[in-house]
Structure formats: C-alpha cells, structure tokens
Amino acid sequence: MKVVALVGCPNVGKSTLFNRLTKTRDALVADFPGLTRDRKYGRALYDGREYIVIDTGGIAEDAEQPSDLTQRMTSQALLAIDECDLVLFMVDARAGIMPGDYSVADYIRKSGKPCAIVANKVDGMDPDIAGTDFYALGLGEVYQTAVVHGRGVNILLDEVIAPVLREEGPLDSDMPEHDEYEESDDLGEDEFGLSAMAKSAHTKAKLRGELEDEDEADEADEADEEANEPSDDLATAALNELLEEQAEAVSAKLRAQESEWEEGFDFLENVPVDYTGGGYDWHAFREAQRSHAKGEMTEAEKAQAEESTKTPFADLPIKFALVGKPNVGKSTLTNRMLGEERVVVADMPGTTRDSIYIPLERNGQKYIVIDTAGVRKRRKVNEAIEKFSIVKTLKAIEDCNVAILVIDAREHITDQDLSLLSFILDSGRSLVIAVNKWDGLTTEFKDEIKKELDLRLGFVDFARVHFISALHGTGVGNLFDSINEAYESATRRNSSSTLNRVLQAATQEHEPPVSGGRRIKLKYAHAGGYNPPRIIIHGNKVSKMPDSYKRYLINCYRKSLGIMGSPIILEFKEGENPYANQKPAQKRLTQSALRAERRKAETEQRYARAASKAERAQNRAIAEAKRTGVGIVLKKRPKPKSK
C-alpha cells in the first residue's frame, strides 16, 4: 500500500489537506502555527485504490516553543519522508519561500523520493503568478490549491497521486468495459498470469459474473454446428478450459488484493464484524452452539466452539488509551511500549495535542495504542485548541476497550484524576491504573502513596494497580497482562445457567431485604450485553432494591466469574402487575371496616325514612287546612311541587 507524506513549514494547511484526502476530521485544524506535533496516519481512498496519508508537524524554528521540542517535531517529519512513497511539499503561496523551505527541499532531494510542491492558499491571487517563486526550489511542478475550499485538490489527485497508485495496479477508471476487448490469438500473459485472449469479451464477462445474451449463445451454437470437424471441437474445449483456469486465477488474485486491507488491523474498528482477516460471527456461533447441543459436532469443532466462547474477539486488536493529567508521562509510556520514539516527548505540559492511534503487536497479540492529550481542570482551560484536545481525549476513551489511567506518584491523587476515573467508569470501559514516576521515591513516601490509593480508590478495587517507571521501563511489561485480562473479562460470554446459579447461591447466602412488609424476590438472570458485562435480573419489587445489596450481587458475580479490570452493570426488571388497573391493595377494606360501613349505611337509611314520614304528615296537614280554611297557621307559604 502506497504512503503519501505531507510536509512543510507550520500553518501551511497540511492538516486541512489531510482531512480533505481522508474525508474525516481526525486532524485538528486551526489558524495557529505549530498545532500538529506528532505523525498522524489516516486511510484514504481514490478511484478504488487505498493508500495511507501521513500528517506531520511544521519544520521551522519557532521562538515561542523550546528548541528541543522543535527538533523533535522536525525529526518526526523527516521520518515520515523516509518511509513514504510520495512527498507532498506544502508551501504558503501568500508568504512566499520561507527560510525553512530550502532545508526541507534539500532533505527531500537527498532522499530521492518523488515529490510535488503544493502551493496552498492561492484563493484571491492571480493564477498566472501564484506560486511561481517555488520553482526555485528545484523540485518539479508546482500545483496551485486552496485546500480549505477544495480548489485544485482533484487536479492534485489526478496528476500526482494517481500515477503513484497505478504502480500497484490499474485503478477503477483504468479498467475498460468488457465490450472494449477485442478477440486476439496472442496467448501472452500479463502480470496477473492472464493471456490476451482471456481478456476477450467472453472471458471478461465470466470474470464479472455476467451471463451471455441468449442471442449470442444461439449464434455460438450455430457456429459450432457448422464446424463439424472434431479437431475444432477439441481445440475449442481446450481453449475454454484454459480460459476458465486463467479466469479463476485472476479472480483469486483480485480477491486477495481486495482483502489485503481487511486483513490488516491498523484502522480496523473493534466491533464484531465478519471480515476476511477475522472477526466474530455471532450468528455462526449460535448455530454452532445449537449443533453442539444436538450432538452434531466433532470433537475438534466442540473444542473450537468452547475456545471461541471464552475469547470471542480474540482475532481483533485490543485498543487501549493512555489518559491522565498533563505531564504525567503518557507519551513517554507510549514510546516505551512501542520501543521507538514514535511520539514527541518534552518536559513541558501540553506537548501532545491530538489523539494518536498507533498499531502494536506483542507476543502474537495485536494492539492499538492511543496516546491522548492531558486533561486539566475546566477552570484552567482557556485556549480553544486545548478544548478541542480534551474533546478528542474523551472521544478516545469512549472508543477504546481498555483505559489506562496514568497517575503521577509525586503529585499524589488529585481531584482531576478522580474526575477522569469517573468518566471512564461512566463510559463502561475496562480500567487499569498505572502509577508512574515510581523510581527514586523513598520507602516512606511509597507507603504513603499506597495508603492514599487504598483510601481514595477503594471503590475501584476491581482494577489492577501497577507501579511503573515509563522513563526506565520498570513494570511496563506487566501492563499488557492486565490489559489482556481486562479485555477478556469484558468480552467473555457467560451462559444464563451460570448467571442463574450465581444468583441462587448469592440469595441463599444472604437473602434480599424486606421493603414495605414484603421481601424482594429475585427470579432469574441473563446476559444483556458485553464490554462491559451487563446482567439483567428479573424479580418482584426490584425497584426498591438498596444500593448495598446491588454491590453485594456485583461482588458475588465478580468473584464467581473471575471478572477483573472491567465494571459489571446490573439492571433490574420487574414484571407487569395483572391487577394494576384494579383497586390498589392498600385501599382494600377489612371485614370490620366493611361491617362499620354497612351500619353507617343502615343508620342513614333510617334517618331518611323518618324525614320522609315527617314530610308526608306535614303535607297532609297543610292540604286539610287549605280545604277547610281552619287549622294550621303557616309562617311561610310552601312552594308548589314541580311536576
């Protein structure tokens, strides 16, 4: 796979072109010189062919930053020139030739690598004179671009990058249609081992999996019937067999080229996908489990299924991120793990400004190391660049499988360390704690640090704690064992029967508490997700479950399943109440209450009958007095009854 390096002085648009070629926002971009400091790799695609783009830091002296940091940034850019296949030397068309451009041009000329000068920021300038000064560098053609607006990028791709990519094979646009091939008797072979006759329309259609038209097939049959000579039939059969063999060979070679990137791990997302280079097919795993239950698998297949159950993501790389405060030794630890000066290291906080993804292989296991920028307290962050760096760091934590929290032993455990630890746990990532700068400390100071760890980090007792020295390499190798353990614990598949046995043993040893006069009942448990492990428990009144009993269940599962380095998430679900729409149980009346209500109702009825009887007697007396004119004297004339 071809590699293209972007080099030049600071603030000429290298990161902008990197994002434009890779069609991402991976590189931080700002109108600020010296923003990029490390080499950043990205995958790009052009006309069906993939290649790698390297973004580098600016090569120039800067009075605002230490000379040691500038020298390290320059060495990173020069290493990118040494390992690339094409150098895009970016310059600022508005600023003209800078003093550092001559030294970069000399180094590119001595390296002998193909180079093209990209004169950026030509928008608003006369196209006839923009960038003409850079021909004095003696590196060939100068291409005018305005990368921020996308002007000139397509020309750069067609005229500079495409010829380099064609060295590996033809591009998609170079592949002619099948009807453009002409019949030929030449049996010469090309680089794929395919003869010229195999490139005919008939063979090209076979390679594409297309069927011949019925009319063409009929014409071919008629031609075969006319040729009654047996020698022609034998020759035709032999030729067809040869063409089929060559077509199969070419198809296999093309499939190998297409799967070349998928079999890599540099930019492979750590998700269960079924790629040629590996992955975890959950559907196939379930089918194998069902066959295993029916006894239809061989012993070898049973062993393979059991092994895949233990480590279902074993063929995918483990991504772990180094996070912590500024200047705690994250970049130094990254270089120590890689065994080379891969990222820039300086004795000043805030050296790393972007998250750098670096592939690594150790003892047959593939990893992706993520070096992140330091995270300070919010009230101390004033620059916009640092805010973007913190956002990239938090995104890297969510993207990784295992987070390594690096703590400076000489500064004790601060509130910022606890804030980062809280974010890691909320993200559900596995955790490993590395206490750096352990060398040179006195025994009393070490004992004090250990007591402080037990006091302030007691709630993450599931995480391994390592005391290391990234500068000298002490204890760094032990981190990989904890990373593998945490990743295996987070991705392990546990059956429902195992989870239910653990739940039953835990409830028998210590019953759930009582809430509202009734004991909480836990019925059964099953797995609800992985990375981190998620266990769903069904029962009654589980919403009243206290946190203390939840921690007890988590510790039981952690001890029984051997989960270390990964948090366990418990979710409680309660079934629907069939009497939810009826009268609540709290409002149901007892027998004594029912008898009291009946007595009250009978008393009210007696009073109502007495009042009705008195009213009827009064009405009769009034009617008699009206009829005779003698009798009862009324103080108030009664109202007539409504009909």
Number of H helices, E strands in the chain: 18, 17
User: Tell me, what's the pLDDT at 618?
Assistant: 85
Q: Which of 548, 574, 600 is the last residue of a domain?
A: 574
The pLDDT > 70 percentage for the chain reads 71
Question: What is the full DSSP assignment across 15-79?
Answer: HHHHHHHHTS--S---S-TT---S-EEEEEEETTEEEEEEE----S--TTS-HHHHHHHHHHHHH
> Average pLDDT for residues 225-251, to the nearest whole number?
58
Residue 119 pairs in a beta bridge with: 91, 144
Q: Are residues 480 and 509 in the same domain?
A: no
Highest mean pLDDT among 57-61, 159-163, 166-170, 194-198: 159-163
Q: What is the mean pLDDT of the chain?
A: 77
Q: Are residues 393 and 525 in the same domain?
A: no
Question: Residues, the chain, total?
Answer: 643
pLDDT tens digits for 471-506?
888 888 899 999 999 999 888 888 889 999 999 999
Q: Are residues 468 and 566 in the same domain?
A: no
Would residue 535 count as lying in a domain?
A: yes
Question: The whole model's pTM is what?
Answer: 0.65
User: Tell me, what's the pLDDT at 82?
Assistant: 84
Q: 29-33, 130-134, 185-189, 248-252: which has the minimum mean pLDDT? A: 185-189
Residue 432 has pLDDT above 90, yes or no: yes
For the chain, what is the domain count? 3
Would residue 124 count as lying in a domain?
A: yes
Helix H segments across 510-546? none
CA-based max dimension of the chain: 148
Q: Are residues 419 and 476 in the same domain?
A: yes
Distance, in Å, from the CA atom of 174 to the CA atom of 359, rounded to the nearest integer, reads: 33
Would residue 475 count as lying in a domain?
A: yes
CB 557 within 8 A of CB 523: no
The CATH number for 388's domain is 3.40.50.300
Q: Could you tell me the pLDDT band of residue 587, with boundaries at 50, 70 and 90?
A: low
Highest mean pLDDT among 68-77, 174-183, 229-238: 68-77
Would residue 586 count as lying in a domain?
A: no
CB neighbourhood size of 399 (10 A): 17
The CATH number for 521's domain is 3.30.300.20
Q: Are residues 8 and 97 in the same domain?
A: yes
User: Tell me, what's the pLDDT at 588?
Assistant: 67
Q: Which of 468, 491, 514 is the last residue of a domain?
A: 491
User: Residue 330: which residues within 8 A CB-CB, separation 6 or more?
Assistant: 322, 323, 324, 352, 371, 372, 374, 406
Q: Are residues 335 and 438 in the same domain?
A: yes
pLDDT tens digits for 32-43?
566 777 788 888
Burial of 281: CB neighbours in 10 Å, binned 0-12, 13-18, 19+? middle
Would residue 635 count as lying in a domain?
A: no
Would residue 190 count as lying in a domain?
A: no
Residue 111 has pLDDT above 50, yes or no: yes
Between vectors from CA 620 to CA 616 and to CA 623, what angle results, nearest 5°?
135
User: Tell me, what's the pLDDT at 351?
Assistant: 73
Would residue 470 count as lying in a domain?
A: yes
Q: Are residues 50 and 10 in the same domain?
A: yes
Q: Which residue has the higher pLDDT, 587 or 575?
A: 575
> Average pLDDT for residues 311-331, to the nearest whole number?
80
Q: Are residues 467 and 327 in the same domain?
A: yes
CB 116 within 8 A of CB 35: no
Hunting for tokens 């952690």 — which residue is that? 558
Q: Which of 124, 142, 165 is the last residue of a domain?
A: 165
User: Tell me, what's the pLDDT at 78?
Assistant: 83
The pLDDT > 90 percentage for the chain reads 13
Q: What is the CA radius of gyration of the chain?
A: 40
User: Tell me, what's the pLDDT at 208?
Assistant: 42
Q: Are residues 325 and 340 in the same domain?
A: yes
> Average pLDDT for residues 152-158, to the nearest whole number?
89
Q: Are residues 414 and 560 in the same domain?
A: no
Would residue 247 count as lying in a domain?
A: no
Domain span at residue 527 reads: 496-574
Residue 107 has pLDDT above 90, yes or no: no
Q: Are residues 532 and 408 in the same domain?
A: no
CB 66 within 8 A of CB 346: yes
Please give the distance of CA 205 from its chain centroid, rounded to a whole number: 40
> Average pLDDT for residues 9-22, to the nearest whole number?
86
Q: Are residues 500 and 487 in the same domain?
A: no
Q: What are phi and psi of 473, to 5 degrees?
A: 85, 10
